[in-house]
Structure 1
C-alpha cells in the first residue's frame, strides 16, 4: 500500500472568534479538514455560514483563535506577519470577488508585482506571458478603470497564478460578473490547476459550480455540516 500524500491544507479543531461591541462573535467552530494536493474543493453554505472566513484562515489572512491551520506543512499560527507575507508570495494565489487590482498600475504592472516582490528578473516577460494565457495581451497597457469587470478578473487570475502557487484560493470570483462572463472566468480558474497542478479551494453560492469540484464542503453556523463528492471526483473514478 502506498502512503497517502501529505495534505496541502490541514485544519484541526480550528476556530475563529472576533471581538464586537456586543461581545465576542464566534465565526468558525471546530473545523477539522484535510485537502489533498491537486484537489478542487467547493465551500458552500448560506450567507454568514463562515465560508469566506474559512478561506481566509487557509490563506493566513485571518489567524485562527483556536486549533491549528497548516499549509504545505507550515503552521500558519506560528508565523509573524512578515513570514506570512513571504509564505503567501511563493505558495498561495488568492482571487477575490472585488478584483483588488492596483488602480494606478497597468494590467501588465499588476501581474508583474508579485514577481518583482520576489526579485524575479524577467518579471515583465513572465507577466506578459500570463496575460496572454488568459487572453488579455491586448490589454497589457490599460489601467483597471479602462477595463470591464470580466477583464479585471482575468488580470486578477493572471496575477494569482503567475508565481505558480501550489494553492489557489478563490472567494466568489464571479460574484460581480454577468453569467456569460462569469462562466468564462470559471473555465479559466479550473484550468489553472490543470496547467500547473495547484490545489483549488473555491467559495461559491452556486451549487452547479460547486459540483464541478472534486469535493463539496458545506458549512452551516460556522461548522462543517457535510461533505460530498462533486462531478470531478466521479469523473476521476471512472
Structure 2
C-alpha cells in the first residue's frame, strides 16, 4: 500500500504571550493511498494543527512532513502553493468562499489556479454533482450554510486532488445537512482520493477506515 502522507517526529511550537506553547509533540503518522483517516480528540489536542501541517498550511518547528514523496518542510511558499494547487483540496468548517464571487466563479477559480481549462463549464458540472446546479449565479451570502459547504467541497474536489483534507466540515451545519456533506465526502473514496478528516462526531469517525486519537499534542495509544 502506497504511503501518501508521512509525518516523522513532527513538532509545532508557537510563541504565546506567556512564552512558547507546544502544540504538537513528536508526531509519527503514515496515511495510505485511498485511505480515509479520522483525527479525533478533545478541543486543543492538536487535531487541526496536524491537519494544517499535512496541508503545508503550517510549518513544523521540528521533524518532517512529506506528501506524495515531497518534503513540504523544505519548500518555500511559492512551491507549497503550486504543490497544493495540483495535489490537495482543503475543506474548512467556515467555508472560506470568496464573497464577491458566485458559486460557479468560486469553483472555476480553483480549476484555473490548478491550470485546467474550461473552468466555468467544469465548475457548473461540479456544482450540479453536489446538487447546486440551480445556485450557479448565487453569491455566498445568498446561500445557506449547507449550500456554502457544498460549494466549498465542489471547489476542493474539482481539480481532482490526490489528497483531501477536511477540518470539522460539518461543524457549522445541522445534523441533516451535515450528513449530506459527509455522504459526499465519503463518496470520494470511490474515486481513489485519500481523505483526512478532523471531527468531534463519533458517527463520522466510525465511517473512517482508521481513526487516530490525539491528546495534548500527541497521538494517543
1:6, distance to aligned residue in structure 2 (A):
3.1
User: Counterpart of 1:116?
Assistant: 112
Q: CA RMSD for the aligned pairs?
A: 0.7
Q: Post-superposition shift, 1:59? A: 0.2
TM-score, length basis structure 1 = 0.91
Match of 2:216 in 1: 221
1:47 positional shift: 0.5
Residue in structure 2 matching 1:203, options 195, 198, 210? 198
Q: 2:18 pairs with 19, 22, 26, which one?
A: 22
Q: Which runs of 5+ in 1 are unaligned?
A: 227-238
**Inter-partner Cα distance in structure 1 for 2:85 and 2:39:** 23
- Whether 2:62 is the aligned partner of 1:61: answer no
Q: Which residue of 2 aligns with 1:173?
A: 169
Q: Distance in 1 between matches of 2:114 and 2:22?
A: 36
**2:31 aligned partner:** 35
Q: For residue 114 of structure 1, report the CA deviation from its aligned partner.
A: 1.4
Indicate if the aligned counterparts of 2:93 and 2:172 stay in contact, CA closer than 8 A: yes
Paired position in structure 2 for 1:89: 85
User: Which residue does 1:52 correspond to in 2?
Assistant: 48
Match of residue 212, structure 1, among 185, 207, 211:
207
Work out whether residues 46 and 217 of structure 2, in 8 Å CA contact, stay in contact via their aligned partners in 1.
yes
1:80 aligns with 2:76: yes
Distance across 2 between alignment mates of 1:120 and 1:6: 26
1:187-214 residue CA offsets vs partner (Å, 9 max, x unmatched):
01111221x2110000000112101000
Q: Per the alignment, in what secondary structure is the counterpart of residue 212 of structure 1?
A: coil
Q: Secondary structure at the match of 2:34?
A: coil
- CA distance in 2 between counterparts of 1:69 and 1:120 reads 27
Looking at both structures, which has the greater relative contact order when contacts are Cα pairs under 8 Å and sequence separation is at least 6?
2
How much does 1:157 deviate?
A: 0.3
Aligned to 2:89, what secondary structure does the other structure show? strand
Count of aligned positions: 221
